[in-house]
Amino acid sequence: MLATGPPLVDWGIGVPGSRVGESAKRPDPEEQPPVTHPSATDRRSDGRRLFAPSSWPEARFVAGMLRTETVGGLLLLLGAVAALVWANSPWSDAYGRLARFVPWPGGHGLHLDLSLQSWAADGLLAIFFFVVGLELKREFVAGELRNPRQAVLPVVAAVGGMVLPALVYVAINTAAADGAPAGWAVPTATDIAFALAVLAVVNSHLPQGLRAFLLTMAVVDDLFAITIIAIFYTEHLSVLPLVGAVLPIVAFGFLLRTGRGRWWLLLPLGLLAWGLVHASGVHATVAGVLLGFVVPVRSRTGRSTGEAERLEHRWRPISAGVAVPVFAFFAAGVSLRGVDPARLFGDPVVLGVVAGLVFGKAVGLFGSTYLVSRWTRAELDGEITWSDLLGVALLGGIGFTVSLLIGGLAFGVGTERDDHIRAAVLLGSAISAVLATAVLRRRNRVYRRIAERQNRDADRDGVPDIYQDGPAGS
């Protein structure tokens, strides 16, 4: 899904005359006539363009995914706002009782005596991470990440966008006497649904290349996030259930590969794998990613779509429209009544999370992408400028779903520090959203012009003209 056009890395000698790093000298696109977009053939022959439109099949796939995630992001926002309003209303006790309600008190022996809030985090988010696993499998097998050269940009950007926020958080919390370094991973995650919802609200016609980059970077970000959860936030590990989970996961993949993947077989296997991973002490959402990894991407029966794409098409609406909004409803309900602002904003955990999301994410994503461009001698595509990338980097500072999940794992759900984490994630995400909106909205006229050109279909065959020149149209 990375829209970088052809491979980025020139493994030989760099081509002289690259203009990377001279963005300050570029004329203002607002004052210039539209730049003719390079043809698909030109894009394929020049391996040094960042954020060029991807191939037509990839562009269609990304567009469909973005539509679902955008709707899901709006539902996520609705769930979060509803939780905040209810938790700070005169009926806040009812919200707390609902979140703490245990549907199955007798499930203690199976570690399933969970509250509704825990079911949302451990159960429903497993669906979200199953879709993430399917995305990752597709990217590594048939997407842009299968080519190491094309994978450089989103991987390096994701790493930079996770390392710097973590360092900012740790620096603030190690310098404070009452700091809590255990929450270092909270500001490292990007919530793509939330970010796309912000784009939808501000009506930004962000170019397809930048949207695809944001989406692919967020997928890699999710991979690192689930790895962090599995490694750093597993307190008590029971080996036997974890080993036992291998059997239903392998059987799940085997049935799909042999064409016997009936839902009444797959669903019990998925639930069994989830239950065993949960019993092992590893966070149960890891089971979702592992199940997604074993789904075959390429079709063995001659169908146009493989099992991974078919399952993703089926489960993404459930993930984006149900699982994540319900989790947001139970996770975002932090009561601010009676909270001492001095105590809240004096907490190094709050300062670390807010600074990590707003400053660390933006600088990490922007800086790592700029370094890749210098290393590869790549130029920005067409009318895209570094200020556009800054807007996207600020969107990366919108953390919600995974950030709140990690906060609960680090400090315990319902603790004062967990409440502070939730407030900090909401505040940091809101600041990042406002800054991103300010940066991107001023370029909307240019974005509309780019979108009109990229969507132009003179021959009315359903395929935009820019995808019909050369290999990109294939």
Residue 363 in domain: yes
What confidence tens digit (pLDDT) does each residue in 369-426 have? 999 988 888 777 777 889 999 999 999 999 999 999 999 999 998 888 999 999 999 9
Distance CA 422, CA 95 (A): 16
What is the average pLDDT score of the chain?
Answer: 83
Least confident of 8-22, 140-154, 289-303, 312-326: 8-22
Residue 183 in domain: yes
What confidence tens digit (pLDDT) does each residue in 25-82 have? 444 444 444 444 444 434 433 446 676 666 666 666 666 666 777 788 889 999 999 9
What pLDDT sits at residue 215?
A: 84
Share of the chain above pLDDT 90, in %: 53
What pLDDT sits at residue 168?
A: 98
What pLDDT sits at residue 467?
A: 65
Please count the structural domains in the chain: 1
Closest CA to 433 of 176, 80, 61: 80
* Domain residue limits at 104: 23-76+87-113+150-214+336-473
What pLDDT sits at residue 158?
A: 94
What pLDDT sits at residue 376?
A: 84
Distance CA 68, CA 71 (A): 5
What pLDDT sits at residue 23?
A: 38
Closest CA to 243 of 269, 279, 268: 279
Torsion sign over Cα 215, 220, 221, 227 = positive
What pLDDT sits at residue 78?
A: 94
Query: What's the mean pLDDT in 443-469?
Result: 73
What pLDDT sits at residue 231?
A: 92
Distance CA 220, CA 225 (A): 9
What confidence tens digit (pLDDT) does each residue in 216-264 have? 898 899 889 999 999 999 888 899 999 999 999 999 999 999 988 899 9
Distance CA 135, CA 312 (A): 8
What confidence tens digit (pLDDT) does each residue in 74-123 have? 899 999 999 999 999 999 999 999 999 999 888 777 778 899 999 999 99
Residue 196 in domain: yes
Residue 238 in domain: no
How many CB atoms are located within 10 Å of the residue 182 CB? 16
Query: What's the mean pLDDT in 295-300?
Result: 84
CA 425 distance to own-chain centroid: 15
**Confidence class for position 273, pLDDT limits 50, 70, 90:** very high
Residue 170 in domain: yes
Residues pairing with 50 in the sheet:
380
Residue 397 in domain: yes
**Confidence class for position 465, pLDDT limits 50, 70, 90:** low
Query: What's the mean pLDDT in 257-277?
Result: 94
What confidence tens digit (pLDDT) does each residue in 126-182 have? 999 999 999 889 888 877 777 787 788 889 999 999 999 999 999 999 999 999 999
Residue 360 in domain: yes
Q: What is the residue type of 203?
A: N
| pTM, to two decimals | 0.80
**Confidence class for position 6, pLDDT limits 50, 70, 90:** very low
Residue 128 in domain: no
